[in-house]
Each structure stands twice: as C-alpha cells, then as structure tokens.
Amino acid sequence: MIAVDCEGAACVVGEPGMSLSNSSNMAFAREQATRETNAAVRALFDVGAEKVVVWDSHGDGANILFDQLDQRCEILLGVGFNRRFPELDETYSGVLMIGYHAMAGTVNGVLAHTYSSDAYHAIRVNGMEVGEIALDASVAGERKVPLIFVASDDKGCAESLEFMPWVKTVETKRGLGRHCAYSKHPAVVEKQIYGTVCVAVEELAQMKPFLFKNPVQIEIQFEQFIQLLKARIRRQGWSMSGLKTLKALLPNMLEWKC
C-alpha cells in the first residue's frame, strides 16, 4: 500500500500564508504526487507485486489525478475512515510513503506540520514528539506491516531514518525554509523512486514493523485554547493536560484518529 501526501513531492513549496491545498502550487503538487506514485507503482509490479493499493492521505483524500494512475493499482480515497492505512492487514508485505513531510516545528522543513498546521502545535507519543511518518508507520506496524520506503524532503527522510533506520528513502528536495527548497528535477526524482523502491523490495526481509510500546500515551498540543475545546467535544475519553493539550491512553495505535 502506498500512502500519498503532497507536500514532500519535488518542486512543491506551497505559498506563504495559506495551506498547500489553497495555494497556486497545488495544481503542480497534484500532478507531481501522481507521477511519483506511478514510479513507485511501476517498480512494485516490476519486482513481482500481485496487488498495489494507493491511498490518497492528503487533506480531503481527493488530490491524486486518479485517471492518470497506473491502471493496475487500486485506490483508497476520501475521508471518514476509522483509522490511518484503512483496509491494511497482515496480507500486505509493506507500505510506502510518497510526498510525506517532516513533523511540526522542524527547522527548514518544507511545509512541515503534523496533520494540521492550523490546529496542532505538536503531537507526542509516550513522551516523544513525533510526526506523520512515525504515527502512520506505527498504525501499519500494528498490522505487522513494515514501512519500507519514504520519498520526502531531506528533513522528512532524516526523520524517517531516525525512527526506522532500515527504511529506503529518496530525497526530493533540500529544505531551505518553510516555503523554499533546492529541488531535484521532477523527472530525476521519479527515476530515483523507481530504482529505490526496487531495492527496498529486494531487502524486504530486513524491514521491521514499527511499533510504539503499548498502551500508548498520546498528547495533542493545540495552537489555540479554542481549538482544544472543540476537539474535547468530539474526542471521547480524552482529558485536558494543560491549557492547550489533550491526552489519552490508547490500547494501541489502531485506535489513533488524527
């Protein structure tokens, strides 16, 4: 299963003062995320995959140019799933991340955030600050499926390897600020994704499911107090831990809903 975000794709930097989805860069981001996904899909089938599922994990889950995806893959899209990596189970050999980005607060991380740049200041698991890469990988890990590949900017790749040193990565660009980067050419990135995904599958036996110690203590630190109050209403079982933080003890990461 390939999880596809948009911020980490080559030549994507967004626009100051707004989310990527509302920026003038979004049209290109959709196209490039689609091309990078196709490179990974082709590689997986070329090395023997029987089934490849693409999950649009950005925002409203309707960003990839679906009609331009490799026709052999299947697609998960939209919002309202009961967990991250919907439909994933133990029959899958691995998960991949295309277009992912570094966690909130990462210095010079391009469009760095953790799920919501407007609402979330930080998310901590068992006292450790984490981002979408580790959080999503841990959901797959609960299903005994390892993260095997990540394409992101240099900060996102480094974050991946900090938590999962076995993961194969492709650096799409070097972040010089939140909205600026030194990027590889998109076509070069696509070729590198293809080659590196092939290597990742060849080394699948060395990959490990990523897990946090259960039960997991999760803390969400919000940007504003009013955001905490709104979240407190819909997050049953969560309690306040400071003026801007909610916390909960979950049996495992399959219970995590961002």
Question: What CATH number should be reported for the domain holding residue 75?
Answer: 3.40.50.10780
Which domain, by its residues, includes 166?
2-106+134-210
Stated as kind and residue range, the H or E segment containing 216 is strand 216-222
How high is the mean pLDDT of the chain? 96
Asked whether residue 70 is domain-assigned, the answer is yes
- Enter the tokens of residue 9: 């794709």
Q: Is the pLDDT of residue 225 over 90?
A: yes
**pLDDT band for position 242 (50/70/90)?**
confident
Q: Which residue has the tokens 């994507």?
A: 12
Asked whether residue 188 is domain-assigned, the answer is yes
Supply the pLDDT for residue 236: 86
CA atoms within 13 A on the CB side of 105: 11
Asked whether residue 216 is domain-assigned, the answer is no
Asked whether residue 100 is domain-assigned, the answer is yes
Count the domains in the chain.
1
CA distances from 24 to 181, 186, 187 (A): 16, 18, 21
Supply the pLDDT for residue 221: 97
Asked whether residue 119 is domain-assigned, the answer is no
Peptide bond into 215 cis (omega under 30): yes
**pLDDT band for position 117 (50/70/90)?**
confident
Supply the pLDDT for residue 172: 98
Residue range 15-44, pLDDT digits in tens:
999 899 889 999 999 999 999 999 999 999
Asked whether residue 91 is domain-assigned, the answer is yes
User: Which amino acid, 230?
Assistant: K
Residues 169-175: what's their mean pLDDT? Answer: 98
Q: What is the DSSP letter of 132?
A: H
**Residue 114 near residue 122, CB atoms below 8 Å:** yes
Q: Is the pLDDT of residue 234 over 90?
A: no
Asked whether residue 225 is domain-assigned, the answer is no
**Contacts of residue 3, Cβ cutoff 8 Å, sequence gap at least 6:** 55, 57, 85, 95, 96, 97, 98, 100, 136
Supply the pLDDT for residue 254: 95
Distance CA 94, CA 88 (A): 10
Q: Is the pLDDT of residue 258 over 90?
A: no
